[in-house]
Chains A and B, each alone.
Chain A
Amino acid sequence: MTGLHLAAALNDAGWHPAAWRDPGARPDALFTAAYWTGLAAEAERGLLDLLTVEDSLGLQSAVPGVPDDRTDQVRGRLDAVLIAALLAPGTSRIGLVPTTDTTHTEPFHVSIGIASLDHASRGRGGWRPQVAGAGLTDAPHFGRRVFPEAGPGWFATPEGELLALGLLAEAAEFVEIVRRLWDSWEDDAEIRDTATGRFLDRAKVHYIDFDGDHLSVRGPSITPRPPQGQPLVTALAHGPGPYEFAARAADVVYVTPHSRADAEAAVAQVREAERDAARTGEPLRIFADLVVFLDETPGAAASRKARLDDLDGAPLASDARIFTGTPGDLADVLLDLREAGLDGFRLRPGVLPADLAGITRGLVPILQGRGAFRTAYEAATLRGHLGLPRPAGRYSVPTGRRP
């Protein structure tokens, strides 16, 4: 039996909007290096495949797509790529996967940022591209694009669906550009040939000449090919359009099933999207997202969550299934869900650092005891943890055939 894969999703003080008010939270430390390095050390202690860092270009809001004026929830967050880079030197095995926006940013900048993360972490860099979606309201932060008013439910209207598909198509071009830039230097482009005085072999550095419907970039990158060749690209997806985006663009997809049957349906849809996209090479690795509250004593996690719900004035709402219980119960749930054909899970701790420790110190030993999770890292790179090979650069020409 191959082991399952585990990721931790780090977000503010945790995924509950009142998490920062939990007695174990560190609300005054959210913007310090020590907070994030502590979480990363804990995640690596648990031998997790990777951690993700959420991000958005606008202030958090309780109402998707509409800024609110609440002062009783965490507001403010730091750039996720820089947080991930900060975590590189203090860790040695865990994958570091920041989120970036594809609607308001430049693919060239994002490409060299993730490549640099991969260099700084020696092959542990990943990326979660994210379309603005609810963050359409961030457009006035840039003043470059005008979008319609997108209140709750707007993305379900025909106009909203059309725009969403357009943003996804743009995101697909964005990822293609980023990936081409990663390949634009062949691995051995730096030659330091003292005989001819050449530092570079210019035949091994390539223009990408991408000219799409939404974006065009000439290249090549200014950053040499990253250690993994292609850092791991991951995507969160909730339905056919995003599944197809993931099938074309990503290595890992995070889905959000609420039951075993749901998980089976999601896996079937993802595989269908792969066929539709004529995906070749490695199949998508499919992770299911769950929000987790963990405590050793039965009922304790549920009452902790209930207390936070009370503080927040509403029960926690999430796109993903919300689990409360003991680590043993969670292990049962995960092992059952996995039978649907999942490769692993991305667990979103309800409260940080408590529920992360619940994963690393509670869940992980139980999964190990059941032979379902590694007892030591077996690879040094993030692709390696997932059994993904290091791809050859797309522009590489076997020697001898070079014109």
Chain B
Amino acid sequence: MPVKQIHLAAHFPGVNNTTVWSDPRSGSQIDFDSFVHLARTAERGKFDFFFLAEGLRLREMKGRIHDLDVAGRPESLTVLSALSAVTTRLGLAATVNSTFNEPYEVARRLATLDHLSGGRAAWNVVTSYDAFTGENFRRGGYLDEADRYNRAREFLHTARELWDSWAPRDLVADPAAGEFARAGAGTFAHRGTQFDIAGRFTVPRGPQGHPVIIQAGDSDEGREFAAADADVIFSRHGRLDDGRAFYKDVKSRLAKYGRRSDELKILPAVTYVLGDTEQDAAERAAEIRRAQVTPRNALVFLEGFWGRDLSGYDPDGPLPDVEPDLGEGVSKGRAQFRGDRGEVVRTWRALAAERGLSIRELVIEATGRQTFIGTPRSVAGQIDEFVQSDAADGFVFVPHLTPGGLDDLVEHVVPLLQEKGVFRADYTGPTLRDHLGIGGPRAPKETP
């Protein structure tokens, strides 16, 4: 079996609870210089793409703006367009919600980015639908949870119709013949259950035909949407066993859409910590976890699951003795946990009792631990092992420091992956589709 080639991407952490903003090396989350630093680092490391997340309303906890985590971020496509001027090969991935937008405008902006970047645009289609976010928009909170993927699917299909409304040769620009564009270029008409639109699209076909499509939902519907329609999945499954199960599940869904297994790349969000020795790295990792889970953060995290105010509890003491309130919840604006909170709480109680964990220790244990910890050589080995054993096709690295958090990965680990022959020594083409090796755009499909 030939070795699989690894795909790497960089996440600029926006609103999140993993950035250690208290670290003196932690820089601005909004200055353009920070974005340039991380993007150039990723491009130096020959990464496939640079990824920006999105949230359309500040998070709230117990009815007030959440103040413990990094907050504040730019509009994705605007900052990526600016970054296209200071990079030459790096893919530029924008998270854009399909509920609080219209296909015409989103398709137009993504096609613009694809032109201006010379074929490097990608779109992470997310589906937050809640009324809380809706309060910031004309249409308000009108979408049922059950409809979020109906709208997303039709939104994407409509965008593809718009991108295809200009044929490759519709832009003529021949002054002698006096023909700028072919007659009828950009004509579209879409009629479906979510959208009924028609007219003329203003953007000629972009270098990639269609921007790369990324999907990040985790529900069964989300996986199905990805299998049918996405080029890349940005997943949460960053542990080996869990990653393998997810990988197998999603890849097995492809055949029914007439797709080959390598047409959809699965890239989990991961972290890493390097050290001079394994022990050094482990100590650093533990230190980072303690900085991420401060005593107050630990309580707030628990409140999210208990659904009630726990501020009277000691983070270094035992888990709350009160029962969780399984009602509406106290946390708003986060990607919601949709499982059984009562069940989660029972599991944690058992774990804490068995291991004698305090609230803070439990949270450190229960929330995503670092994925790769070790010396550069061992981390390179772990990354490769993960990919070769089909737990992923590559990774989206989420650094805990902005903007220098990927410097040492690119400096010390990437060269080792290149040495192993599992990661490119240089870009082989100009477009993001080239980097991902996923071929041309998918044909637009009939909307169900």
Contact = CB atoms under 8 A, between A and B. Distances in A.
A pairs with B: yes
B6 to A, nearest CB: 29
Given A106-B137, A140-B198, A222-B56, A192 B21 contact: yes
Contact of B186 (A28, A76, A86, A108): A76
A141 B104 contact: yes
Interface string A332-370: 000000000000000000000000000000000000000
A108 B56 contact: yes
B400 to A, nearest CB: 14
A215 B199 CA distance: 26
B82 to A, nearest CB: 4
B354 interface: no
Given A108-B137, A222-B58, A205 B85 contact: no
B388 interface: no
A37 interface: yes
A79 B58 contact: no
A120 B112 contact: no
Contacts of A27: 173, 175, 180
Contact of B116 (A25, A83, A141): A83
Interface in B159-182: 166, 171-173, 175, 178-182
Interface string B46-78: 000000000111100000110111111111011
A14 to B, nearest CB: 13
B136 interface: yes
A202 B317 CA distance: 28
Nearest to A30: B173
Contacts of A199: 21, 67-71
B74 A115 contact: yes
A354 to B, nearest CB: 14
B203 A86 contact: no
Contacts of B79: 85, 116, 119-120
Most central of B74, B179, B180, B199 by chain A CB within 10 Å: B180
A388 B74 CA distance: 25
Contact of A76 (B56, B83, B137, B185): B185
B185 A112 contact: no
A224 B72 contact: yes
Interface string A237-252: 0000000000000000
A32 B112 CA distance: 9
A142 B105 CA distance: 8
A37 B85 CA distance: 9
Most central of A71, A85, A88, A198 by chain B CB within 10 Å: A85
Contacts of B74: 112, 115-116, 119-120, 223
Given A76-B171, A199-B21, A69 B184 contact: yes
Interface in B20-44: 21-22, 29-32, 35-36
B321 interface: no
Most central of A20, A105, A218 by chain B CB within 10 Å: A218
B118 interface: yes
Contacts of A83: 81, 112, 116
Contacts, number: 225
B196 interface: yes
Contacts of A85: 78-79, 81-82
B394 interface: no
Interface in B115-162: 115-118, 135-138
Nearest to A191: B67
A71 B182 contact: yes
Interface residues of A, number: 77
A116 B195 CA distance: 29
A190 B402 CA distance: 15
Interface in A73-129: 73-79, 81-83, 85-90, 104-106, 108-109, 112-113, 115-117, 119-122
B102 A144 contact: yes
Interface string A192-219: 1010111111100100000000010111
B116 A76 contact: no
A115 B75 contact: yes
B140 to A, nearest CB: 8
Contact of A71 (B21, B138, B183, B196): B183
Interface in A289-305: none
Nearest to B54: A222
Nearest to B70: A199
Interface string A135-156: 0011011111000000000000
B200 interface: yes
B4 interface: no
Contacts of B199: 58-59, 67, 137-138, 140-141
A120 B82 contact: yes
B135 A218 contact: yes
A222 B136 CA distance: 11
A142 B186 CA distance: 15
Interface in B182-215: 182-186, 195-204
Given A75-B186, A119-B31, A218 B136 contact: yes
A377 interface: no
A67 B32 contact: no
Nearest to A22: B175
Contacts of A32: 115-116, 118
B202 A59 contact: yes
A37 B203 CA distance: 19
A33 B22 contact: no
A218 B57 CA distance: 9
Nearest to B162: A141
B341 interface: no
B71 A200 contact: yes
A6 interface: no
6 contacts: A31-B204, A113-B75, A113-B78, A137-B199, A143-B195, A201-B67
Given A21-B175, A112-B74, A205-B58, 12 more contacts: A31-B115, A37-B85, A56-B202, A57-B108, A57-B202, A58-B199, A79-B108, A82-B78, A121-B32, A138-B199, A196-B296, A202-B64
